[in-house]
Structure 1
């Protein structure tokens, strides 16, 4: 579900109790309270008018009397009833909240702990029996993650110190935050990078420092509603490419590196392309993976990997002989 749709769903779910608590309020006043436009309020009310409980007959649908001057809910269709959780539902919700606490920047830890305490108090011993070991320990939010989350909430630009794994470099850059996303068990800041002039994903555990700027975030309009930037494995075509042969037992690399042009081999292995910015980083990676990966091209990378592997073997041989190696390794 896109951020736009999920945001509207949350707003729609809150409109019935809101208007029930504020009978006769105008669309303009409600828009100010809810941070949207009067037109959006009227569009939401027209949507709510055909929503309700399963059955969807006249007696099941939410009923409203509304105009731009006055909005009154005449039938809530149960939307004002307190939510009652079964022990299983409470346990699932508690597990989900605790999982979110482990993801930096996704939620405010104090708010999550407060929600957990309330659910546990309401669910009683049934939910407490399913508390995993160590879950009662409070999670302290990383200061960098807190700074990024606060800037996103306040709509402020950020100055980041960021480590790029593919380039093996640390860079300084100013970004305009768009949102925080969770992809494959990692938290990312999606933002417009002013130096790259494009949308980029910044993994939270690779942000070394974050400073909120005084200016508001102003990502281009085209960057706000395009989810194609959430694709992690879209390699930069301007970077050099290494063609690799990956052994059958090493195909897990497909889940951890931005490999493209994958061709499955008869033995269960594969050939794939990995783009890189730093030849030294690429050579270190290939040598570190040992026999699991063979570099096929480009020729200069093949030569670099062979030289690094030979130097490592010389170092081991010198260590066994008790003499210093020529490479100093």
Structure 2
């Protein structure tokens, strides 16, 4: 669940991490600085700076006990770092850390849509050179999903060719055939996508590589209309908008994970064990399948149409289980004349 930030503050965890890393050396060089002055220098609000300082209280070295965490002293509206947990020391990677970093960079270098692969490869070469034999272990890096399909999509993007694809749309639970003009390849949340002008929808669309059942490169160049614009994916592939249906669910403790996994418009405390969660969905058909897969600890509050669809689908499933299979015929009950019964009665 994304926490709202104050005006002028960062909206991403990556931005906040960079700010925290800069904050400690900044405060070390200015002991006793006023919080208002520091906030002005760092271009954040005082509230955001105080939240960052509260987070620093629980940051430090492994062990996370007394003497391991960053410490600071407050004198009114002034702050002084009294223990920096070694953040001012040069970074030294352990063998495991170096190997993990090398593997991550190798993966990044093979990721479709990386804008500056040369910069990644230069960084990788420097770390491998510094680590020496520590990173010589035989590690093979493979991208998730179908590598052959991803390579075919990447080739079409680089070659500027149109594609015919067979695509499964999870929101509508249907498979369609489309002709697309690729714009770029990219990775979002660990999944490969091709962004393209869809001639069927007459709009720019994102297509997940693992949902493309078939792909054929056409003998024609990709023609992208001038009005086509790439999506802003800084907040993920799904961007809720006010025109999408809004659903509200009553969620128990066991299903609260959906507030971290899906972008929610509002999360309110209900009783002691339940939350009221509101989120936008692509359509009610997807929402019906989503709710049915969550289990008994989730109840639809709104809209009434979705609650009725879920109730009807659940009732139909129960009715289907109540009916015996067509070929499951019971054997006739034995009678007194039945030889087996007669033998068993002796």
Normalising by structure 1, we get a TM-score of: 0.54
The CA deviation string for residues 151-194 of structure 1, in whole angstroms up to 9 with x for no partner, is: 11112222221111111111112222111122111121122222
Bigger helix share = 1
1:96 aligned residue (80, 95, 104): 104
The corresponding residue for 2:193 is: 188
| RMSD (Å) for aligned C-alpha atoms | 4.3
Distance, in Å, in 2 between the alignment partners of 1:159 and 1:121 is: 44
Q: Which structure 2 residues correspond to residues 239-278 of structure 1 after superposition, within 5 A?
A: 240-257=245-262, 259-266=263-270, 267=272, 269-277=275-283
Query: Greater CA radius of gyration, 1 or 2?
Result: 2
Contact 2:266 2:277 in 1 (8 A): yes
Contact 2:244 2:280 in 1 (8 A): no
Going from structure 1 to structure 2, the CA distance change for 1:212 and 1:90 (only over 3 Å counts) comes to: farther
The CA deviation string for residues 90-121 of structure 1, in whole angstroms up to 9 with x for no partner, is: 63553124434886x568xxxx9xx9999979
The corresponding residue for 2:226 is: 220
The CA deviation string for residues 20-68 of structure 1, in whole angstroms up to 9 with x for no partner, is: xxxxxxxxxxxxxxxxxxxxxxxxxxxxxxxxxxxxxxxxxxxxxxxxx
1:205 aligned residue (194, 203, 210): 210
Q: What SS does the corresponding residue of 2:197 show, helix, strand or coil? A: strand
Distance, in Å, in 2 between the alignment partners of 1:136 and 1:181 is: 21
Q: What SS does the corresponding residue of 2:182 show, helix, strand or coil? A: strand
How far is the alpha carbon of 1:236 from its aligned partner?
Answer: 6.4
Q: What SS does the corresponding residue of 2:150 show, helix, strand or coil? A: helix
Contact 1:233 1:260 in 2 (8 A): no
How far is the alpha carbon of 1:211 from its aligned partner?
Answer: 1.7
Going from structure 1 to structure 2, the CA distance change for 1:234 and 1:101 (only over 3 Å counts) comes to: same
The corresponding residue for 1:308 is: 313
The corresponding residue for 1:10 is: none
The CA deviation string for residues 277-319 of structure 1, in whole angstroms up to 9 with x for no partner, is: 463x533332221123211233233222123323444555667
The CA deviation string for residues 189-236 of structure 1, in whole angstroms up to 9 with x for no partner, is: 122222222222111111112222222342435515x63697523246
The corresponding residue for 1:152 is: 157
Contact 2:162 2:223 in 1 (8 A): yes
Gaps of 5+ in 1: 1-85, 325-329
Going from structure 1 to structure 2, the CA distance change for 1:211 and 1:229 (only over 3 Å counts) comes to: farther
Gaps of 5+ in 2: 1-92, 115-119, 330-346
How far is the alpha carbon of 1:137 from its aligned partner?
Answer: 7.7
Distance, in Å, in 2 between the alignment partners of 1:185 and 1:93 is: 17
Distance, in Å, in 2 between the alignment partners of 1:138 and 1:248 is: 36
The corresponding residue for 1:289 is: 294
Q: What SS does the corresponding residue of 2:296 show, helix, strand or coil? A: helix
Going from structure 1 to structure 2, the CA distance change for 1:137 and 1:209 (only over 3 Å counts) comes to: same
Going from structure 1 to structure 2, the CA distance change for 1:195 and 1:254 (only over 3 Å counts) comes to: farther
Normalising by structure 2, we get a TM-score of: 0.52
